[in-house]
A and B are shown apart, each in its own frame.
Chain A
C-alpha cells in the first residue's frame, strides 16, 4: 500500500519540522509550508491525502487557505490544527469544509489515525466521482 502523503502548513517552523519527522517515522510522506500561498502552490502540483492546517498565519490566514484549497480540489481533506481553538473558529472552519478541528497540542496517535481516515475518505470520494463520471458517459453518450 502506498504511503499517505500530507501537507503540513504552519508558520511555527520548529513545530512543522518536529511533527513532520514524527509522521515520517510513522511511514507518512510529509511536505511542509509556512504560509498559505506556498501551501496552495504545493497543492497545485501534488495530490495530498490530507492537509494539516494552522489557522493563524501571516498573510493569508487558515480559513482563507482552506477555502482556496477546496476550490482547487473539492475532495481535499483538511485537518485544522491550531492553537487558536475557540468554538466559533471551529464552527467557522467546519462550515468552510474542514474535516477535523484539533487544538494544539494533539496526540500523535490521534493525528496519525485521522490522517489514515482522511486518506480513506479521499479515496472513497474519488471512486464515487469516477463511478459517477462513467455513469454519465454511459447515459449521455452511450449511443
Chain B
C-alpha cells in the first residue's frame, strides 16, 4: 500500500467512524423515544385496567398522556427524517444544498451529545437561503469535528455558538466557545478538521484564541472549484 492509498484508507476510516458515532447517538436517542412512548402507552393500559375495576377515569389525565405520546412521536419523526438526510449526504461527493439546513441537521443529530457534555449550542440561522455546491458529508464532518473541539475544551459547561457568514465567493462557518483559548486541544481533532476542510472542501480553517474564549473559523468556497 503506497502513501496515497494509506491516506485514502485513513480518510475512509475517520469518515466511517464519524458516521458510526452519529448513528450510535441517534439510535440511542431513538430508543429513548420508543421507551417513553412505551411507558406512556403502558400508563394508559394501567388506567384502563383500573377503570375496569371501578376507578373513575380523569379525561384531563388521558388528554395529558396522549399529548405527550404525540409530542414524542413528533420527536421520533424529526430524528428519523434528520437521520435519513444525514445518511443520504454520502450519496454524492458534490451537491447543491442550503448550508443553513445542513447546520440545522447536525444541530438536531448532535443535540444529545451536546446535552450530555453539559454544553449549550446556540445556532443563529440566517434568514436568507445559503446555497452551496460542495461535498455535503464533508461539511457535516467538519461541523462535527468543530463541535467536538469546542466540547472538548476544558470548561465545565461550555457555551458554544455557530454563526454563518455568507460572502460572494466564500462562506465562513464560525464556532465560538466561552472556554479560554489556551484550553483548546490542537491535537488529532484539529488535524482532522484541517484535512477535511482543505482536502475535501478546498477551504481553510483558522483558530482565534482569546482570554474569554476561542473561535474556529472555517472558510469554504461557495462553489467547489472542480464543480
Residues of A at the B interface (CB closer than 8 Å) are: 11-12, 14-15, 18-19, 21-22, 25, 56-59, 83-84, 104-105, 108
Contacts and interface: CB of A to CB of B under 8 A. Distances in A.
Interface string B15-43: 00000000000001001101110111011
Given A12-B35, A105-B38, 18 more contacts: A11-B115, A14-B68, A14-B72, A15-B32, A15-B35, A15-B36, A18-B43, A18-B68, A22-B39, A22-B42, A25-B50, A58-B118, A83-B28, A83-B31, A83-B35, A104-B32, A104-B35, A108-B42
**What does DSSP make chain B's interface, helix, strand, loop or mixed?**
helix
A102 to B, nearest CB: 11
A24 to B, nearest CB: 10
Nearest to A14: B36
19 contacts: A12-B32, A12-B35, A14-B40, A15-B35, A18-B36, A18-B39, A18-B40, A18-B43, A19-B39, A22-B43, A22-B46, A56-B28, A57-B116, A58-B116, A58-B118, A83-B28, A104-B31, A104-B32, A104-B35
Contacts of B39: 15, 18-19, 22, 105
Interface string B47-76: 000100000000000000100100010000
B117 interface: yes
A25 B39 CA distance: 13
A56 B65 CA distance: 25
B22 to A, nearest CB: 16
Contact of B117 (A14, A58, A104): A58
Nearest to A21: B43
A108 B65 CA distance: 18
Nearest to A26: B46
A12 B36 contact: yes
Contacts, number: 48
Interface string B115-130: 1111000000000000
Interface of B: 28, 31-32, 34-36, 38-40, 42-43, 46, 50, 65, 68, 72, 115-118
Most buried by A among B34, B36, B50: B36
A22 B50 CA distance: 12
Contact of A105 (B28, B35, B50, B117): B35
A29 B65 CA distance: 21
Contacts of A11: 115
A33 to B, nearest CB: 16
Contacts of B28: 56, 83-84
B36 A25 contact: no
A2 to B, nearest CB: 22
Contacts of A58: 115-118
Contacts of B50: 25
A137 to B, nearest CB: 47
A22 to B, nearest CB: 6
Contacts of A18: 36, 39-40, 42-43, 65, 68
Contacts of B118: 58-59
Contacts of A19: 39
Nearest to B33: A12
A125 to B, nearest CB: 30
